[in-house]
Structures are given as structure tokens and as C-alpha cells.
């Protein structure tokens, strides 16, 4: 086996996780290869050296301090929500006020605005008369022009009789 | 009867405790913390090498777990979830520190862990232990994030490869590769102590 492959297997070998054939292969290689043997030893040594970095001593009040922190944060959050809670009634009353105001303006507008109050200028009056005259003439022309097709009802009666 | 109840309570698994905590039972969460806080504080400490702040950071980890307890879904082991949160927090912390790095070497050695009873210990021994602690931290710092997480969790937290793989989000084979590569780099970095 190649050295690189052996070095990858050394971790499993030292933990006893290799199958029999790989285990024998590693052991054979370690006997023959000085460099891999050095790596194997150093790998062990460095792993054991890490034990020299000791754990920290932890204060006994870790858990009570945690709950104090939770309470403090909850209180802060509660205060923030109080602000919104105080804000909410004001917003509701403000909104209702605005709606009432709009309704009042709308109703006043309806009651006050009347047809009589519409002021026509002389120009408007003559324009309106012109439009009425035009409308009458069109109606008349249309009725007369349709006479060439009639009277439909009499023809139908005659056809039925014939 | 009371003894039986308290005994069965102590036998409860982390998941059972978490499910109780989910219903608003803070005593269950206290029990979970009691089981895991030392591991988390030490994990944070190994990652940041900052004794002074490791407890605060560990509390932040538990606070995040506590705040998200309602969303807890027992699919993975509780410790996996816990160390995943701790890892993310530590990585963020280390990155933000690297951006505003103003800590002197003296300060760093001052913060390098509580090395037992410093009053009764031989000063030369204490100095050596501080020195080796800093050297190990610096060597671990030089590894890639994944190699560092894999080595700290395997070596110091004694987590099985399966759990480490879940924390990192990779396969077991990949964890073994990270540990192998990490070891090779550590041999280079710490050869003066070997």
C-alpha cells in the first residue's frame, strides 16, 4: 500500500476500526516504512498532547445566571410590547376618528349640493339648447328614414292572409 | 414513591426533557442545562480561547435553544442540535473578533483558561501549561473550520463520528478525513512539543 493511503488508515487502525486484511496491511507497511512509522507515533503523541489543554473552571451560578438573563430579556421584551399595547388603542381611536370625519364630510357634501345651486353661464345655456335641437332633428330624421322599410306589421298580416 | 419519581426523572432522555420544556416546563430545561453546560462552556472556550467570555457565549447558546424550544422537532440527538448552535455561534464570534483584533498576546495568555489551582501550583508548571494551551489554540486556529470543529468535538467533547458528521453536515468518512488532515497539520505546528 502507498504511504498516503496508509496514513489515511492510521486513524481507523489506532481506533481498532479496520477489517483484518487492512489491519495486517497497515501493520506490515509500518514495519517496512520508517516515515510512516514516525507519522504513526507522532500522530499518537500530538493527540495525547492535546490533553494538556485543560478545561475551564466554571462558576457554580451558571444556571441561576441563565434564568436571570431570561427574566431580564423577557422584561425588556415586555416593555417593548407595552409600548405597542399603549400605541394600539390610540391608533384605533385615531382611525375611528378619521372614518367619522370622512363620513361627516361626505354627508354634508350630499346635503348641501343641490341641482338649483348649479350655476349656468349664458354659453352653457346656448350649448344645451343646441344639443337639444340637434337631438330632436336626429330623432326625427331617423324616424322618417325608417318609414321606407315599413309598415312591417301590415305586410306580415297580409302574408298571413294570402 | 417520591424517590422513584425523582429517579425516573433523572433517567429521562434529553429528548424527553426537551419535549417537556416545549410545554413550558422550565425545570426540564434546567435539567438539560445541568447535563450539558460544562461541555458547551469548554467547547466555546476551545474555540475562542477566551475564558472570560466563554460562559457568556455558552449562555447565549442555551438562550437560543430556549427561545427555539417551541420549534424543536426530535429528529436528531439533542446534543447534536446543541453543538450545531454552539458551532455557528463560535464561528460568528471568531470571525467578528478577527475583524476587530486588538487583543494583545499578554491578554490572550491571561484569558487562556483556568489552569487548576494557580495559587498552589508550581509557577514553572503553570507557565508551561499556559504556554502549551496557547500553542494548541494557535495550532487549532490554523486549521480549516471543519478540521477544527471535527478535532475539538472528537477529542475534547468525545462525540462519536456520526454526531460530528451531523454537526458539520457531512459524511462520517469526511469527518475522519478532517481529523486525519487536522492531525497532520497539528504535527507540523506542534512538533517542538512532541
Domain B1-103 class in CATH? mainly alpha
List all residues of chain B from 38 to 97 with a beta carbon under 8 Å from chain A. 38, 41-42, 45-46, 51, 54-55, 58-59, 62-63, 66
pLDDT confidence of residue B7: 46
| Calculated CA dihedral for residues B66, B71, B74, B78, nearest 10 degrees | -20
Q: What is the pLDDT of residue A131?
A: 82
Instruction: Choose, out of A8, A43, A55, the residue to mutate when testing the contact with B (most B CBs < 10 Å).
Output: A55
Dump pLDDT digits (tens) for A35-58: 999 999 999 999 999 999 888 889
The band of B98, judged by pLDDT with boundaries at 50, 70 and 90, is confident
Number of H helices and E strands in chain A, helices first, is: 6, 0
What is the model's pLDDT at position A1? Answer: 59
Nearest CA in chain A to B128: A52
Residue A101 has pLDDT above 60, yes or no: yes
> Is B176 in Cβ contact with A55 (below 8 Å)?
no
Domain with CATH 1.10.1740.10 in chain B: 1-103
Contact A50 B136 (CB under 8 A): yes
pLDDT at A158: 56
Domain ranges of chain A: 3-52, 120-161
| Mean pLDDT of all residues in B101-116 | 51
Looking at 3.40.50.800, 3.30.43.10, 3.40.50.720, 1.10.10.10, the CATH number of the domain B115-194 comes to: 1.10.10.10
Distance between CA atoms of A122 and B185, rounded to whole angstroms? 101
Residue A55, Cβ density class (10 Å: 0-12 exposed, 13-18 middle, ≥19 buried)? middle
In chain B, ranges of CATH 1.10.10.10 domains:
115-194
User: pLDDT tens, B160-172?
Assistant: 999 999 999 999 9
Residue B1 reports pLDDT greater than 50: no
Confidence class of residue B4 from pLDDT cuts 50, 70 and 90? Answer: very low
Q: Is the dihedral of CA B96, B102, B107, B108 positive or negative?
A: positive
User: Contact B171/B58 with Cβ under 8 angstroms?
Assistant: no
| ipTM confidence score | 0.81
Q: Give the percent of chain B with pLDDT over 70.
A: 84
A119-130 pLDDT, tens per residue?
Answer: 566 777 778 888
Give the closest-approach CA distance of B28 to chain A in angstroms.
12
Amino acid at each position: 500500500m502507498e504511504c498516503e493511503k496508509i496514513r489515511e488508515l492510521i486513524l481507523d487502525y489506532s481506533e481498532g476500526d479496520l477489517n483484518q486484511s487492512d489491519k495486517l496491511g497497515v501493520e506490515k507497511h509500518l514495519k517496512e516504512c520508517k516515515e510512516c512509522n514516525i507519522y504513526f507515533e507522532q500522530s499518537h503523541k500530538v493527540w495525547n498532547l492535546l490533553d494538556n489543554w485543560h478545561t475551564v473552571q466554571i462558576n457554580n451560578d451558571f444556571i441561576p445566571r441563565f434564568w436571570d438573563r431570561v427574566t431580564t430579556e423577557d422584561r425588556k421584551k415586555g416593555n417593548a410590547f407595552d409600548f405597542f399595547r399603549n400605541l394600539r388603542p390610540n391608533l384605533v381611536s385615531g382611525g375611528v376618528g378619521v372614518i367619522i370625519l370622512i363620513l361627516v364630510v361626505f354627508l354634508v357634501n350630499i346635503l348641501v349640493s343641490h341641482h338649483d345651486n348649479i350655476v349656468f353661464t349664458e354659453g352653457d345655456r346656448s350649448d344645451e339648447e343646441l344639443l337639444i335641437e340637434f337631438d330632436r332633428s336626429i330623432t326625427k330624421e331617423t324616424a322618417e328614414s325608417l318609414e321606407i322599410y315599413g309598415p312591417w306589421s301590415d305586410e306580415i298580416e297580409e302574408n298571413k292572409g294570402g | 414513591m417520591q424517590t422513584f419519581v425523582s429517579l425516573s426523572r433523572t433517567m429521562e432522555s434529553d429528548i424527553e426533557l426537551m419535549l417537556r420544556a416545549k410545554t413550558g416546563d422550565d425545570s426540564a430545561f434546567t435539567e438539560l442545562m445541568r447535563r450539558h453546560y460544562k461541555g458547551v462552556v469548554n467547547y466555546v472556550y476551545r474555540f475562542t480561547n477566551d475564558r472570560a467570555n466563554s460562559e457568556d457565549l455558552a449562555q447565549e447558546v442555551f438562550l437560543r435553544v430556549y427561545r427555539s424550544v417551541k420549534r424543536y422537532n426530535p429528529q436528531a440527538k439533542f446534543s447534536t442540535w446543541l453543538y450545531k448552535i454552539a458551532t455557528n455561534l463560535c464561528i460568528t464570534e471568531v470571525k467578528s473578533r478577527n475583524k476587530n483584533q486588538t487583543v494583545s498576546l499578554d491578554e490572550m495568555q491571561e484569558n487562556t483558561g483556568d489552569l487548576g489551582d494557580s495559587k498552589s501550583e508550581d509557577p514553572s508548571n503553570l507557565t508551561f501549561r499556559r504556554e502549551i494551551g496557547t500553542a494548541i489554540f494557535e495550532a487549532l486556529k490554523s486549521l480549516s473550520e471543519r478540521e477544527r470543529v471535527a478535532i475539538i468535538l472528537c477529542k475534547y467533547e468525545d462525540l462519536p463520528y456520526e454526531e460530528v458528521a451531523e454537526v458539520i453536515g457531512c459524511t462520517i468518512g469526511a469527518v475522519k478525513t478532517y481529523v486525519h488532515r487536522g492531525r497532520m497539520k497539528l504535527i507540523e505546528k506542534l512538533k517542538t512539543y512532541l
